[in-house]
Structure 1
Amino acid sequence: MKGQRLLMTASAMVLATIAGAALADTAADVAPTAEPVADIVRAPDDLPRPLAARGPEHVVVNIETVEVTGQLADGATYRYWTYNEKVPGPLIRVRVGDTVEVNLSNDENSWFPHNIDLHAVTGPGGGGEMTMTQPGESNAFTFKALKPGLYVYHCATPMVADHIQSGMYGMILVEPEGGLPPVDREFYVMQGEIYTEQAFGTQGEHSTDYDKLLNETPEYYVFNGAAYGLKDKTLNAEVGETVRIYFGVGGPNKTSSFHVIGEIFDAVYPLGSLNSEVVTDAQTVTVAPGGATAVDLTLEVPGNYVLVDHVLSRVERGLAGILHVEGAEQPEIFGPAQRTLETADAR
């Protein structure tokens, strides 16, 4: 209920009319599960810091694929397939020119083989063929990061769409030689869908519905793996700070129209390209499945800002998060109208 109240108060004029009824219904219909389950939601501030100025290096990345029962929603669980037990997988951060060694191990308790295909790789399969790994085994490969950008990675084991919707996606940031313009805070957010036999809001263990997956009709839309996954794990910042959100879509099927209600993006790095000219003063940004972007914001006014896909019916199925900004009120920018005596007399 605490998280639901947070969402309800985050934008009274928007969520109260769009998602209020759905959230209230979920609270009434779903009881807590009997057993404790894993928290698979990666915190949005869980990412490496910007790299110091340096030349090319040999960078080692260790990733374990783990299948774990996690909390999908209040009272609902799902068997996730993960990289390092969180959704999304870790943000990998390297510099253009680095040689990257990827070591992939598959937990011995896994039911299925897994691998990793990184869109930053130049080479057949993006590393997928070299890392096809059975439970209890490991594989490795190296690649040279030739081009800067923000790239998605995901499992490419058949059925690929099933492995992705179960949580096997993340991003790799290849910084340009000079790095990126500095900001005060950075965040890591990914959108996905989950296709379950059980209807949205049903309690208990959920299982995959392959007809829904193939027909692209998900029951749940998620930020960082779970319905309303960023309602408690908020993005936290202060008035006057600049923030950058690394945003990607794991999918596997749906395009996002990413929007932060009550904010305007100062800069958008289109298609995850870090060497292209940025787009300034943008309201939304379109991100395709398997695609990414980075957006910069300057925070002028305190309060709760709601992260959404502007296909707003998806809020009803779990797709909303909070950017919480603390600081002094700024009435010269935003506040109640100060009606003058002349205005009152005119009425």
Structure 2
Amino acid sequence: MAAAGCIGSSSNEGNQEEPSDGEQEDGGLESAKSVDVDRIAADPTDVPAPVDWSEPRTHELEIETTERTAEIEPGVTFDYMTFGDQVPGPMIRVRRGDTIRLTLTNSTESAVVHNIDLHAVYGPGGGADDTMVDPGQSATIEFTAMYPGVHVYHCAVPDMDMHISAGMYGAILVEPEDGLPEVDRELYFGQNEIYTNGAPGEEGHHAFDYDAMQNEEPTYVTLNGEAYAFTENGYGPVTVQKGETVRIFHANGGPNLMSSWHAIGNVWSKLYRDGSLASEPDRYVETTPVVPGSVAAAEIDTPVPGPIKLVDHALSRVVRKGMLGVIQVEGEPEPEIFNPDP
């Protein structure tokens, strides 16, 4: 994947010998590591099907916590922590009143303890107190989804800010008893900050920087854990057809920064603020705050073809730190709505 809008890329000059994997470069970063997975960014189209049952049911869920080396952007490696080898972790989708029996397993390859705090849980630590698992161990909890909404889940060990920054967050959607209005398509994204000892675009292995995190000065602000992943220079835009109504779930893992969530060239035609599904949505909102530890749900209409750019309107994060994704609307022009050459 080639990054869009990178700055500060470094290169070896002359005949200088490149360091071997993990070896410290003089005055710079370690060289990029070999990756464990080719892609850490979750597929935005991988959304569970809408609820189609009318009575409470029980779900058996299994999630594995892993620690993987992958690229933030080409030539830039980082040691991620994940739920299920992806950022954000898999979306969980249930109905209000359902019972969830969740087993969390910490990979035998992990170096540290992990757990899970689900904001949809009435219980100590949102389940975190009872899912603290060492490498190679598992724990199971059971809970009833008592209230509707779309909520964050995340790792909540004492070092939780670092674990979340490294990728350990996701979303759990609890649909109301009557379900959600039907749409043509649903997408799932996550935003988080990554704090490293390098500069954006600086090639090599970026180690985690605790001081930068404490100062809330991220190297990257990413969509699904990678810089510019869903652009022409990444995995490509997400493609939809003109006229489709698209619902987007946007989880802000944080751990620190509020997102000013905006769709360039569009508007949130329906907005469920803070993931609240218990009341009528707001209409035609241009930009909305998504605070750390929350998930926004919004719908967009697609009356004209062209790119819709999903951004944090704190725009330096877009231009310099990686926070950009594109939805490409395909179809015939609609000059009565938008005419680029009148």
TM-score normalised per structure 2 = 0.90
**Distance across 1 between alignment mates of 2:78 and 2:70:** 6
1:9-48 paired onto structure 2 within 5 Å: 22-23=5-6, 25=7, 29=10, 35-38=34-37, 39-48=39-48
Question: Is residue 106 of structure 1 aligned with residue 106 of structure 2?
Answer: yes
Question: Is residue 328 of structure 1 aligned with residue 332 of structure 2?
Answer: yes
**Distance across 2 between alignment mates of 1:295 and 1:322:** 16
C-alpha deviation, 1:276, in angstroms: 1.5
C-alpha deviation, 1:37, in angstroms: 4.8
CA RMSD of aligned residues (A): 1.6
Report if the CA contact (8 A) 2:273-2:281 is conserved: yes
Partner residue, 2:214: 214
**Distance across 1 between alignment mates of 2:149 and 2:2:** 38
Report how many residues are paired: 319
State, as a whole percentage, how many aligned pairs show the same letter. Answer: 45
**Distance across 2 between alignment mates of 1:42 and 1:323:** 15
C-alpha deviation, 1:271, in angstroms: 1.0
Report if the CA contact (8 A) 1:212-1:218 is conserved: yes
Report if the CA contact (8 A) 1:53-1:179 is conserved: no
In the superposition, relative to structure 1, how do residues 136 and 2 fare at CA in structure 2: closer, same or farther (>3 Å)?
closer
- Please tell me the residue identity of whatever aligns with 1:276: S
Partner residue, 2:21: none
Report if the CA contact (8 A) 2:90-2:171 is conserved: yes
C-alpha deviation, 1:285, in angstroms: 1.1
In the superposition, relative to structure 1, how do residues 135 and 172 fare at CA in structure 2: closer, same or farther (>3 Å)?
same
Q: Which has the higher helix share?
A: 1
Q: Secondary structure at the match of 2:189?
A: strand
Question: Is residue 317 of structure 1 aligned with residue 321 of structure 2?
Answer: yes
**Distance across 2 between alignment mates of 1:67 and 1:230:** 23
Correspondent of 2:293 among 290, 294, 297? 290
Question: Is residue 58 of structure 1 aligned with residue 58 of structure 2?
Answer: yes
**Distance across 1 between alignment mates of 2:53 and 2:238:** 27
**Distance across 1 between alignment mates of 2:293 and 2:124:** 17
Name stretches of at least 5 consecutive residues in structure 1 with no aligned partner. Answer: 5-21, 339-347
Name stretches of at least 5 consecutive residues in structure 2 with no aligned partner. Answer: 13-30
Correspondent of 1:250 among 238, 246, 253? 253
**Distance across 1 between alignment mates of 2:317 and 2:110:** 31
C-alpha deviation, 1:230, in angstroms: 2.1
Report if the CA contact (8 A) 2:132-2:139 is conserved: yes
C-alpha deviation, 1:53, in angstroms: 2.9
Report if the CA contact (8 A) 1:53-1:178 is conserved: no
Correspondent of 1:273 among 262, 266, 276? 276
Q: Secondary structure at the match of 1:172?
A: strand
Per-residue CA deviation, residues 81-132 of structure 1 (Å, 9 max, x unaligned), is 0000000000000000001111000000100000000000001110001100
Per-residue CA deviation, residues 15-65 of structure 1 (Å, 9 max, x unaligned), is xxxxxxx43x45x64699574552100011011111213210111111000
Structure 1 segments of 4+ aligned residues over 6 angstroms from their partners? none
